[in-house]
Structure 1
Amino acid sequence: MNQGKFFVIDGTDGSGKETQTKLLLARMRREGYTVETVSFPQYGKKSAGPTEEYLAGKYGPSDRVGPKPSSVFYAVDRYDASHDIRAWLESGRHVIADRYVSSNMGHQGGKIDDPEERRHFFEWNDELEHGIFGIPRPDLTIVLHVPAEVNARLMADRPKDIHEQDMTHLKRAERTYLELVELFPGFRLIECVDGSGILMSPERIHEMVWEIIRPMLG
Protein backbone atom coordinates (compact mmCIF):
# COMPACT_ATOMS: atom_id res chain seq x y z
CA MET A 1 0.00 0.00 0.00
CA ASN A 2 1.30 3.45 -0.91
CA GLN A 3 1.82 5.86 1.96
CA GLY A 4 -0.46 8.88 2.09
CA LYS A 5 0.70 12.43 1.49
CA PHE A 6 1.02 14.91 4.33
CA PHE A 7 0.09 18.54 3.63
CA VAL A 8 0.34 21.52 5.97
CA ILE A 9 -1.64 24.75 5.68
CA ASP A 10 0.22 27.45 7.59
CA GLY A 11 0.88 31.16 7.36
CA THR A 12 0.48 34.51 9.01
CA ASP A 13 -2.31 35.16 11.50
CA GLY A 14 -5.65 35.99 9.91
CA SER A 15 -4.72 34.39 6.58
CA GLY A 16 -7.55 31.85 6.61
CA LYS A 17 -5.68 28.66 7.50
CA GLU A 18 -8.71 26.97 9.04
CA THR A 19 -10.93 27.92 6.09
CA GLN A 20 -8.40 26.65 3.54
CA THR A 21 -7.97 23.40 5.48
CA LYS A 22 -11.73 22.82 5.36
CA LEU A 23 -11.95 23.68 1.65
CA LEU A 24 -9.05 21.38 0.79
CA LEU A 25 -10.54 18.55 2.87
CA ALA A 26 -13.89 18.88 1.09
CA ARG A 27 -12.23 19.05 -2.35
CA MET A 28 -10.07 15.99 -1.79
CA ARG A 29 -13.00 13.96 -0.50
CA ARG A 30 -15.12 14.98 -3.50
CA GLU A 31 -12.29 13.77 -5.71
CA GLY A 32 -12.40 10.39 -3.98
CA TYR A 33 -9.38 10.64 -1.68
CA THR A 34 -9.38 9.37 1.90
CA VAL A 35 -8.26 12.27 4.08
CA GLU A 36 -7.78 13.04 7.77
CA THR A 37 -7.20 16.44 9.36
CA VAL A 38 -5.57 17.74 12.52
CA SER A 39 -5.29 21.27 13.88
CA PHE A 40 -2.67 22.76 16.18
CA PRO A 41 -2.71 23.64 18.97
CA GLN A 42 -5.10 20.85 19.97
CA TYR A 43 -7.17 23.14 22.18
CA GLY A 44 -8.88 21.32 25.05
CA LYS A 45 -6.45 18.38 25.10
CA LYS A 46 -4.01 17.90 27.96
CA SER A 47 -1.07 18.01 25.56
CA ALA A 48 -1.99 21.58 24.58
CA GLY A 49 -2.27 22.80 28.18
CA PRO A 50 1.11 24.60 28.38
CA THR A 51 0.53 26.16 24.96
CA GLU A 52 -2.88 27.46 25.99
CA GLU A 53 -1.41 28.95 29.18
CA TYR A 54 1.37 30.59 27.15
CA LEU A 55 -1.06 32.09 24.61
CA ALA A 56 -3.29 33.35 27.44
CA GLY A 57 -0.31 35.30 28.80
CA LYS A 58 0.25 33.29 31.99
CA TYR A 59 4.03 33.31 31.44
CA GLY A 60 4.17 36.96 30.38
CA PRO A 61 4.29 38.74 27.00
CA SER A 62 5.45 36.64 24.06
CA ASP A 63 8.76 38.50 23.75
CA ARG A 64 9.62 37.61 27.37
CA VAL A 65 9.12 33.90 26.77
CA GLY A 66 12.13 32.67 24.83
CA PRO A 67 11.65 30.92 21.49
CA LYS A 68 12.96 27.58 22.76
CA PRO A 69 10.69 27.18 25.82
CA SER A 70 7.70 28.22 23.72
CA SER A 71 8.68 25.77 21.00
CA VAL A 72 8.80 22.87 23.46
CA PHE A 73 5.18 23.60 24.50
CA TYR A 74 4.01 23.26 20.89
CA ALA A 75 6.27 20.29 20.11
CA VAL A 76 4.81 18.24 22.97
CA ASP A 77 1.33 18.82 21.57
CA ARG A 78 2.40 17.69 18.11
CA TYR A 79 4.10 14.63 19.57
CA ASP A 80 0.74 13.69 21.09
CA ALA A 81 -0.86 13.81 17.62
CA SER A 82 2.07 12.26 15.77
CA HIS A 83 1.05 8.67 16.47
CA ASP A 84 -2.30 9.17 14.74
CA ILE A 85 -0.68 11.07 11.87
CA ARG A 86 1.85 8.31 11.26
CA ALA A 87 -0.81 5.59 11.41
CA TRP A 88 -3.01 7.45 8.92
CA LEU A 89 -0.14 7.95 6.49
CA GLU A 90 0.98 4.32 6.74
CA SER A 91 -2.57 3.16 6.02
CA GLY A 92 -2.57 5.16 2.77
CA ARG A 93 -4.70 8.05 3.99
CA HIS A 94 -3.71 11.62 3.22
CA VAL A 95 -3.37 14.11 6.08
CA ILE A 96 -3.95 17.87 6.19
CA ALA A 97 -2.64 19.82 9.19
CA ASP A 98 -3.87 23.28 10.07
CA ARG A 99 -0.49 24.62 11.30
CA TYR A 100 2.49 22.44 12.17
CA VAL A 101 6.25 22.67 12.84
CA SER A 102 6.37 25.66 10.50
CA SER A 103 4.34 27.64 13.04
CA ASN A 104 7.12 27.27 15.60
CA MET A 105 9.64 28.34 13.01
CA GLY A 106 7.57 31.36 11.97
CA HIS A 107 6.32 32.66 15.30
CA GLN A 108 9.16 31.64 17.61
CA GLY A 109 11.86 32.25 15.03
CA GLY A 110 10.41 35.71 14.58
CA LYS A 111 11.53 36.56 18.12
CA ILE A 112 15.17 36.30 16.96
CA ASP A 113 16.50 39.37 15.14
CA ASP A 114 19.89 38.07 14.05
CA PRO A 115 19.51 36.09 10.77
CA GLU A 116 22.31 33.63 11.56
CA GLU A 117 20.98 32.97 15.05
CA ARG A 118 17.51 32.52 13.56
CA ARG A 119 18.80 29.86 11.18
CA HIS A 120 20.47 28.06 14.07
CA PHE A 121 17.08 28.11 15.77
CA PHE A 122 15.47 26.54 12.69
CA GLU A 123 18.03 23.71 12.89
CA TRP A 124 17.47 23.29 16.63
CA ASN A 125 13.69 23.19 16.19
CA ASP A 126 13.98 20.66 13.36
CA GLU A 127 16.04 18.37 15.59
CA LEU A 128 13.63 18.86 18.51
CA GLU A 129 10.49 17.95 16.58
CA HIS A 130 11.65 15.54 13.88
CA GLY A 131 14.72 14.16 15.65
CA ILE A 132 13.97 13.95 19.38
CA PHE A 133 10.17 13.67 19.17
CA GLY A 134 10.24 11.88 15.82
CA ILE A 135 7.11 13.48 14.41
CA PRO A 136 6.43 12.94 10.69
CA ARG A 137 7.77 15.41 8.15
CA PRO A 138 5.18 16.90 5.79
CA ASP A 139 5.47 16.44 2.04
CA LEU A 140 4.46 20.07 1.48
CA THR A 141 3.88 23.17 3.59
CA ILE A 142 1.66 25.86 2.07
CA VAL A 143 2.34 29.32 3.54
CA LEU A 144 -0.59 31.72 3.24
CA HIS A 145 0.62 35.31 3.30
CA VAL A 146 -1.45 38.27 4.44
CA PRO A 147 0.60 41.41 5.27
CA ALA A 148 0.54 42.27 8.97
CA GLU A 149 -1.18 45.61 8.37
CA VAL A 150 -4.00 43.97 6.41
CA ASN A 151 -4.25 41.24 9.02
CA ALA A 152 -4.61 43.79 11.84
CA ARG A 153 -7.53 45.40 10.01
CA LEU A 154 -9.24 42.07 9.41
CA MET A 155 -8.86 40.94 13.02
CA ALA A 156 -9.78 44.26 14.67
CA ASP A 157 -12.97 42.96 16.30
CA ARG A 158 -11.80 39.41 17.05
CA PRO A 159 -10.61 38.21 20.51
CA LYS A 160 -6.83 37.91 20.39
CA ASP A 161 -4.13 35.83 22.07
CA ILE A 162 -0.77 37.33 23.06
CA HIS A 163 0.64 36.85 19.55
CA GLU A 164 -2.32 38.47 17.82
CA GLN A 165 -2.28 41.47 20.20
CA ASP A 166 1.34 42.31 19.39
CA MET A 167 1.88 44.05 16.03
CA THR A 168 5.66 43.81 16.40
CA HIS A 169 5.36 40.05 16.86
CA LEU A 170 3.07 39.76 13.83
CA LYS A 171 5.49 41.70 11.61
CA ARG A 172 8.45 39.61 12.75
CA ALA A 173 6.52 36.40 12.18
CA GLU A 174 5.54 37.61 8.71
CA ARG A 175 9.19 38.29 7.87
CA THR A 176 10.19 34.86 9.13
CA TYR A 177 7.49 32.98 7.22
CA LEU A 178 8.68 34.65 4.01
CA GLU A 179 12.24 33.67 4.88
CA LEU A 180 11.20 30.04 5.38
CA VAL A 181 9.76 29.90 1.87
CA GLU A 182 13.11 31.09 0.51
CA LEU A 183 15.16 28.67 2.60
CA PHE A 184 13.23 25.40 2.40
CA PRO A 185 12.19 23.66 -0.85
CA GLY A 186 9.20 21.97 0.82
CA PHE A 187 7.52 25.35 1.41
CA ARG A 188 5.29 27.11 -1.13
CA LEU A 189 3.98 30.68 -0.80
CA ILE A 190 0.48 31.82 -1.69
CA GLU A 191 -0.20 35.56 -1.69
CA CYS A 192 -3.71 36.08 -0.32
CA VAL A 193 -4.11 39.75 -1.22
CA ASP A 194 -4.31 41.19 -4.71
CA GLY A 195 -2.28 44.06 -6.14
CA SER A 196 -4.62 46.58 -4.51
CA GLY A 197 -4.11 45.10 -1.04
CA ILE A 198 -7.58 43.52 -1.02
CA LEU A 199 -7.95 40.06 0.48
CA MET A 200 -8.90 37.49 -2.15
CA SER A 201 -11.97 35.30 -1.72
CA PRO A 202 -11.49 31.96 0.07
CA GLU A 203 -12.55 30.19 -3.13
CA ARG A 204 -9.89 31.93 -5.21
CA ILE A 205 -7.20 31.15 -2.65
CA HIS A 206 -8.36 27.53 -2.54
CA GLU A 207 -7.92 27.18 -6.29
CA MET A 208 -4.30 28.31 -5.91
CA VAL A 209 -3.80 25.76 -3.12
CA TRP A 210 -5.39 23.01 -5.23
CA GLU A 211 -3.22 23.86 -8.24
CA ILE A 212 -0.13 23.12 -6.14
CA ILE A 213 -1.41 20.02 -4.34
CA ARG A 214 -3.30 18.21 -7.10
CA PRO A 215 -0.18 17.04 -9.04
CA MET A 216 1.22 15.47 -5.87
CA LEU A 217 -1.75 13.16 -5.44
CA GLY A 218 -0.98 11.01 -8.49
Structure 2
Amino acid sequence: MITLPWLDPDTLDFPPTHEALTEPNGLLAAGADLSAERLIHAYRHGIFPWYEAGQPTLWWTPDPRAVLFPGRLHLSRSLRKTIRQQPFEVSCDKAFEAVMRACAEPRDYGAGTWITDEMLSAYCHLHEQGIAHSVEVWQNGNLVGGLYGLALGRVFFGESMFSRKDNASKVGFAYLEAQLRAWNFQVIDCQVGSAHMFSLGAEEISREAFEQILLDCVYLPSVTGPWELNTPVL
Protein backbone atom coordinates (compact mmCIF):
# COMPACT_ATOMS: atom_id res chain seq x y z
CA MET A 1 0.00 0.00 0.00
CA ILE A 2 1.37 3.41 -1.02
CA THR A 3 1.30 6.15 1.62
CA LEU A 4 1.86 9.65 0.24
CA PRO A 5 2.31 13.02 1.92
CA TRP A 6 -0.72 15.24 1.43
CA LEU A 7 -0.01 18.83 0.54
CA ASP A 8 -1.20 21.64 2.75
CA PRO A 9 -3.60 23.65 0.54
CA ASP A 10 -2.64 26.84 2.39
CA THR A 11 1.05 26.70 1.43
CA LEU A 12 3.09 26.02 -1.70
CA ASP A 13 5.43 23.63 0.08
CA PHE A 14 6.33 20.22 -1.36
CA PRO A 15 8.26 17.41 0.33
CA PRO A 16 11.96 17.21 -0.59
CA THR A 17 12.21 15.65 -4.04
CA HIS A 18 14.63 12.95 -2.86
CA GLU A 19 11.71 11.51 -0.88
CA ALA A 20 9.83 10.64 -4.10
CA LEU A 21 8.99 6.98 -4.57
CA THR A 22 11.06 4.76 -6.82
CA GLU A 23 7.98 2.68 -7.68
CA PRO A 24 6.07 4.23 -9.27
CA ASN A 25 9.04 6.28 -10.31
CA GLY A 26 8.91 9.84 -9.02
CA LEU A 27 5.56 9.93 -7.24
CA LEU A 28 6.06 12.58 -4.57
CA ALA A 29 2.81 13.83 -3.06
CA ALA A 30 -0.94 14.21 -3.48
CA GLY A 31 -3.57 16.85 -3.00
CA ALA A 32 -3.94 20.64 -3.23
CA ASP A 33 -5.07 22.64 -6.23
CA LEU A 34 -3.66 23.63 -9.62
CA SER A 35 -3.39 27.34 -8.98
CA ALA A 36 -0.97 29.25 -11.19
CA GLU A 37 1.23 29.99 -8.19
CA ARG A 38 1.44 26.32 -7.18
CA LEU A 39 2.14 25.13 -10.72
CA ILE A 40 4.91 27.68 -11.25
CA HIS A 41 6.46 26.80 -7.89
CA ALA A 42 6.25 23.09 -8.70
CA TYR A 43 7.81 23.34 -12.16
CA ARG A 44 10.64 25.49 -10.86
CA HIS A 45 11.52 22.56 -8.61
CA GLY A 46 11.11 19.86 -11.26
CA ILE A 47 7.67 18.73 -10.05
CA PHE A 48 4.61 18.33 -12.27
CA PRO A 49 1.02 17.06 -11.86
CA TRP A 50 -0.15 13.90 -13.58
CA TYR A 51 -3.33 12.06 -12.63
CA GLU A 52 -6.54 10.72 -14.09
CA ALA A 53 -10.10 11.93 -13.60
CA GLY A 54 -11.44 10.73 -10.27
CA GLN A 55 -8.01 10.63 -8.64
CA PRO A 56 -6.58 13.24 -6.28
CA THR A 57 -3.98 15.53 -7.78
CA LEU A 58 -0.72 13.54 -7.94
CA TRP A 59 2.67 15.26 -8.14
CA TRP A 60 5.74 13.67 -9.75
CA THR A 61 9.50 14.17 -10.04
CA PRO A 62 11.00 11.13 -11.81
CA ASP A 63 14.62 10.02 -11.63
CA PRO A 64 16.17 9.82 -14.18
CA ARG A 65 14.67 12.74 -16.07
CA ALA A 66 14.23 12.78 -19.84
CA VAL A 67 15.46 15.99 -21.45
CA LEU A 68 16.50 17.31 -24.82
CA PHE A 69 19.24 19.91 -25.02
CA PRO A 70 18.64 22.49 -27.77
CA GLY A 71 21.20 21.90 -30.50
CA ARG A 72 21.07 18.12 -30.08
CA LEU A 73 17.80 17.51 -31.94
CA HIS A 74 18.06 14.52 -34.25
CA LEU A 75 16.32 15.01 -37.58
CA SER A 76 16.07 11.81 -39.58
CA ARG A 77 16.52 11.91 -43.34
CA SER A 78 12.79 11.40 -43.86
CA LEU A 79 11.91 14.17 -41.38
CA ARG A 80 14.33 16.57 -43.09
CA LYS A 81 12.68 15.73 -46.40
CA THR A 82 9.24 16.43 -44.95
CA ILE A 83 10.39 19.79 -43.56
CA ARG A 84 11.90 20.78 -46.93
CA GLN A 85 8.70 19.83 -48.75
CA GLN A 86 6.69 22.06 -46.37
CA PRO A 87 3.40 20.13 -46.37
CA PHE A 88 2.39 21.91 -43.14
CA GLU A 89 2.05 25.42 -41.79
CA VAL A 90 3.40 25.89 -38.28
CA SER A 91 2.28 28.56 -35.83
CA CYS A 92 2.68 29.32 -32.15
CA ASP A 93 0.17 30.43 -29.50
CA LYS A 94 -2.69 30.61 -32.02
CA ALA A 95 -4.89 27.78 -30.71
CA PHE A 96 -3.69 26.78 -27.26
CA GLU A 97 -6.95 25.29 -25.97
CA ALA A 98 -7.54 23.38 -29.21
CA VAL A 99 -4.08 21.83 -28.93
CA MET A 100 -4.70 20.80 -25.32
CA ARG A 101 -8.04 19.26 -26.24
CA ALA A 102 -6.45 17.37 -29.11
CA CYS A 103 -3.73 16.06 -26.78
CA ALA A 104 -6.48 14.83 -24.45
CA GLU A 105 -8.18 12.73 -27.13
CA PRO A 106 -7.87 8.92 -26.88
CA ARG A 107 -4.85 7.44 -28.67
CA ASP A 108 -4.31 4.03 -30.25
CA TYR A 109 -1.83 3.26 -27.48
CA GLY A 110 -3.94 4.57 -24.59
CA ALA A 111 -6.36 7.23 -23.42
CA GLY A 112 -5.39 10.81 -22.80
CA THR A 113 -7.60 11.04 -19.74
CA TRP A 114 -4.84 12.61 -17.60
CA ILE A 115 -5.63 15.98 -19.21
CA THR A 116 -8.67 16.59 -17.03
CA ASP A 117 -11.03 19.55 -17.21
CA GLU A 118 -9.23 20.95 -14.16
CA MET A 119 -5.87 20.72 -15.93
CA LEU A 120 -7.29 22.24 -19.10
CA SER A 121 -8.55 25.24 -17.15
CA ALA A 122 -5.30 25.63 -15.17
CA TYR A 123 -2.98 25.53 -18.18
CA CYS A 124 -5.21 27.81 -20.25
CA HIS A 125 -4.90 30.29 -17.38
CA LEU A 126 -1.10 29.97 -17.57
CA HIS A 127 -1.34 30.56 -21.31
CA GLU A 128 -3.28 33.76 -20.70
CA GLN A 129 -0.42 34.84 -18.42
CA GLY A 130 2.14 34.19 -21.18
CA ILE A 131 3.71 31.22 -19.37
CA ALA A 132 2.19 28.26 -21.24
CA HIS A 133 2.65 28.03 -25.00
CA SER A 134 1.40 25.91 -27.87
CA VAL A 135 2.76 24.99 -31.27
CA GLU A 136 0.16 24.30 -33.94
CA VAL A 137 0.68 22.34 -37.16
CA TRP A 138 -1.87 22.99 -39.89
CA GLN A 139 -2.70 21.43 -43.23
CA ASN A 140 -5.30 23.00 -45.51
CA GLY A 141 -6.62 24.99 -42.56
CA ASN A 142 -7.03 21.93 -40.34
CA LEU A 143 -5.16 21.39 -37.08
CA VAL A 144 -3.25 18.14 -37.69
CA GLY A 145 -0.60 18.23 -34.97
CA GLY A 146 0.86 20.22 -32.14
CA LEU A 147 2.28 20.36 -28.66
CA TYR A 148 2.15 22.52 -25.55
CA GLY A 149 4.21 23.26 -22.47
CA LEU A 150 5.49 25.92 -20.10
CA ALA A 151 8.42 28.32 -20.32
CA LEU A 152 10.11 29.53 -17.15
CA GLY A 153 13.34 31.43 -17.56
CA ARG A 154 15.36 29.55 -20.16
CA VAL A 155 13.68 26.17 -19.62
CA PHE A 156 10.80 24.78 -21.68
CA PHE A 157 8.74 22.13 -19.90
CA GLY A 158 7.07 19.98 -22.55
CA GLU A 159 3.71 18.52 -21.57
CA SER A 160 2.10 16.68 -24.46
CA MET A 161 1.92 16.44 -28.25
CA PHE A 162 -0.40 14.92 -30.82
CA SER A 163 -0.41 14.03 -34.51
CA ARG A 164 -3.25 13.43 -36.93
CA LYS A 165 -0.86 13.23 -39.90
CA ASP A 166 2.48 11.44 -40.16
CA ASN A 167 5.34 13.54 -38.75
CA ALA A 168 3.09 16.48 -37.87
CA SER A 169 4.10 16.70 -34.21
CA LYS A 170 7.77 16.07 -35.07
CA VAL A 171 7.72 18.98 -37.52
CA GLY A 172 6.15 21.21 -34.87
CA PHE A 173 8.74 20.14 -32.32
CA ALA A 174 11.57 20.83 -34.78
CA TYR A 175 10.32 24.38 -35.31
CA LEU A 176 10.04 24.88 -31.55
CA GLU A 177 13.54 23.52 -30.89
CA ALA A 178 15.05 25.84 -33.48
CA GLN A 179 13.37 28.86 -31.89
CA LEU A 180 14.29 27.86 -28.35
CA ARG A 181 17.89 27.40 -29.48
CA ALA A 182 17.89 30.89 -30.97
CA TRP A 183 16.56 32.25 -27.66
CA ASN A 184 19.33 30.48 -25.74
CA PHE A 185 17.05 28.09 -23.88
CA GLN A 186 19.19 25.59 -22.01
CA VAL A 187 16.97 22.51 -21.86
CA ILE A 188 13.63 21.07 -22.97
CA ASP A 189 12.07 18.92 -20.27
CA CYS A 190 10.49 15.74 -21.65
CA GLN A 191 9.62 14.38 -18.18
CA VAL A 192 9.69 10.61 -18.79
CA GLY A 193 11.56 9.00 -21.66
CA SER A 194 9.76 7.45 -24.62
CA ALA A 195 10.88 5.88 -27.89
CA HIS A 196 9.30 8.82 -29.70
CA MET A 197 11.37 11.42 -27.83
CA PHE A 198 14.56 9.34 -27.81
CA SER A 199 14.30 9.16 -31.61
CA LEU A 200 14.42 12.97 -31.63
CA GLY A 201 17.53 13.15 -29.49
CA ALA A 202 16.20 13.14 -25.93
CA GLU A 203 18.41 11.65 -23.24
CA GLU A 204 18.16 10.85 -19.55
CA ILE A 205 19.94 12.69 -16.76
CA SER A 206 19.71 12.34 -13.00
CA ARG A 207 17.15 14.24 -10.99
CA GLU A 208 20.00 16.01 -9.23
CA ALA A 209 21.51 17.19 -12.51
CA PHE A 210 18.12 18.36 -13.75
CA GLU A 211 17.44 20.30 -10.56
CA GLN A 212 20.81 22.03 -10.91
CA ILE A 213 19.86 23.14 -14.42
CA LEU A 214 16.60 24.49 -13.06
CA LEU A 215 18.39 26.37 -10.29
CA ASP A 216 20.65 27.96 -12.89
CA CYS A 217 18.03 28.71 -15.54
CA VAL A 218 14.41 29.06 -14.39
CA TYR A 219 14.93 32.49 -12.85
CA LEU A 220 16.60 33.98 -15.90
CA PRO A 221 14.61 36.59 -17.86
CA SER A 222 11.77 34.95 -19.77
CA VAL A 223 10.81 35.42 -23.40
CA THR A 224 7.48 37.19 -23.29
CA GLY A 225 4.52 35.86 -25.25
CA PRO A 226 2.70 35.37 -27.46
CA TRP A 227 5.53 33.64 -29.27
CA GLU A 228 6.38 33.64 -32.97
CA LEU A 229 8.42 30.89 -34.62
CA ASN A 230 10.69 32.69 -37.08
CA THR A 231 13.96 30.72 -36.89
CA PRO A 232 14.75 28.40 -39.85
CA VAL A 233 14.81 24.71 -38.93
CA LEU A 234 17.23 23.61 -41.67
TM-score (norm 1): 0.30
Higher relative contact order (CA 8 A, sep 6+): 1
Q: Which of the two has greater helix per residue?
A: 1
Q: Which of the two has greater strand per residue?
A: 2
TM-score (norm 2): 0.29
